Amino acid sequence: MNWRWLLRASMWVRRPPSAKRVKLVVGLIAVCIAVALIEHYVGWPDWAQMDRAPRVPRF
């Protein structure tokens, strides 16, 4: 384990993040999981998909 991670962990123990920041992080994680679940079960609409560009031939 890197010493920087240990120092960061000790700082978190001494000064934990505020409740507002914890709610923000949990909210972002929930949004990411929701988007991943929608993509997996429903799929993306046609307008949101990118068309593949034709491959440039190499010589």
pLDDT in tens, the chain (59 residues): 689 989 988 998 999 999 999 999 999 999 999 999 988 898 877 777 777 777 777 77
Tell me what pLDDT residue 53 has.
72
R_g (Cα) of the chain, nearest Å: 21
**Residue 35: inside a domain, yes or no?**
yes
Q: Give the separation between CA 54 and CA 57, rounded to whole angstroms.
A: 9
**Residue 12: inside a domain, yes or no?**
no
**Residue 22: inside a domain, yes or no?**
yes
**Residue 26: inside a domain, yes or no?**
yes
**Residue 34: inside a domain, yes or no?**
yes
**Residue 32: inside a domain, yes or no?**
yes
Cα separations in angstroms, 21 against 25, 35, 59: 6, 21, 54
**Residue 10: inside a domain, yes or no?**
no
Q: pTM, whole model, 2 decimals?
A: 0.61
Which residues span the domain enclosing 38?
17-46
Tell me what pLDDT residue 26 has.
97
Report the domain count for the chain.
Answer: 1
**Residue 54: inside a domain, yes or no?**
no
